[in-house]
Amino acid sequence: MDNDKLIIGGHEFNSRFILGSGKYSLSLIEAAVKYAGAEIITLAVRRANTKKQENILDFIPNGVTLLPNTSGARNAEEAVRIARLARELGCGSFVKVEIMRDSKYLLPDNQETVKATEILANDGFVVMPYMYPDLNTARDLVNAGAAAVMPLASPIGSNKGLATKEFIQILIDEINLPVIVDAGIGRPSQACEAMEMGAAAIMANTALATAGDLPMMAAAFRQAVEAGRKAYLAGLGRVLTRGASASDPLTGFLRD
């Protein structure tokens, strides 16, 4: 367990809980780092595009890796511009590509995401694209140079959990990059379930931001993510794995 690191673009992390950026506050960031153990915090560049007295960059504790996102981008070109601005602002080389052409559900545009990923990966960014869980797109993202893929579990902010479970499982089974489940995780049990499935990490924001007791919810997420990860590494009991096995082997008649 001690050597079980999350590796993204050659960078190592101990924590598999990533704080999303939607609803930020100083107390949320504190709780995520202190109680959920977050080592990566997403930051909307458009939120960081502020004057000194409000700058969210000042809220980020030392030792935490910033993951600036391109929210607000409606196509690849805008995402690339926002990512480069993030680098100029001193946000490092990580970037979460988020491209939405839909202001109602905030669903990602997979095609544009592949384009932006390729440009940014060639430009030296560690690119973590937010995507709708589609296997073909995920393969395209691998070829485009992504460092991870971040499929959505359900519509952002919905707290509805793993609505796309079957498709995320396919990505986990087929893609040789960390699969980080993003958006829609509303409860620790859902985070745990995603980790049991073999997700490399989960990202959440609303679930914490809207909790009654923030630090306690943050701690609950930490335990859930760790429990799910351990269960995955341990190998789930056969009753719980896909399919059942007959008590008498079907192949018992074979002689040599």
Partner 1 sequence: MDSEYLSAKALEKKHRLETDPTYRKNHMEYLPGMERIESDICANVMKHMKSFDYSKYTAHDVKSALNRDTCSIEDFKALLSPAAEPFLEQMAQRARLETSKHFGNTVYMFTPLYIANYCENYCVYCGFNCYNHINRMKLTIEQIAHEMEIIADSGMEEILILTGESRAQSDVNYIGEACKLARKYFRMVGLEIYPVNTDEYRYLHECGADYVTVFQETYDSDKYETLHLLGHKRVWPYRFDAQERALMGGMRGVAFSALLGLSDFRKDALASALHVYFLQRKYPYAEMSLSCPRLRPIINNDKINPLDVHEKQLCQILCAYRIFLPFVGITVSSRESAEFRNGIVKIAATKVSAGVSTGIGDHESKYSGKESDGMHGDEQFEINDSRSLGKMYRDISDEGLQPVLNDYLYV
Residues at the interface with partner 1 (CB under 8 A):
22-25, 44-47, 49-51, 53-54, 72-74, 78, 81-82, 85, 100-106, 157-159, 205-206, 209-210
CA dist., res. 87 & res. 94, Å (int): 9
Q: 158 or 223: whose CB is closer to partner 1?
A: 158
The three-point CA angle 182-187-192 to 5° equals: 75
Catalytic residue among 5, 23, 51, 96: 96
Residue 50 C-beta: closest distance to partner 1, Å: 5
Closest separation in Å from C-beta 81 to partner 1: 6
What values do phi and psi take at 99, rounded to 5? Answer: -125, 120
The question of whether 96 is a catalytic residue gets the answer: yes
End-to-end CA separation in angstroms for the chain: 40
Which residue matches tokens 């030792």?
A: 63
Task: Return the number of the residue (151 or 186) whose C-beta is nearest partner 1.
Answer: 186
- What does each C-alpha distance from 87 to 12, 187, 203 come to in angstroms? 20, 33, 22
Q: How far is the CB of 205 from partner 1 (least distance, A)?
A: 8
Comparing CB distances to partner 1, the nearer of 14 and 25 is: 25
Least Å distance between CB 156 and partner 1?
9
Mention every residue, 6+ apart, whose C-beta is less than 8 A from residue 44.
21, 22, 68, 69, 71, 72
User: Which active-site residues does the annotation give?
Assistant: 96
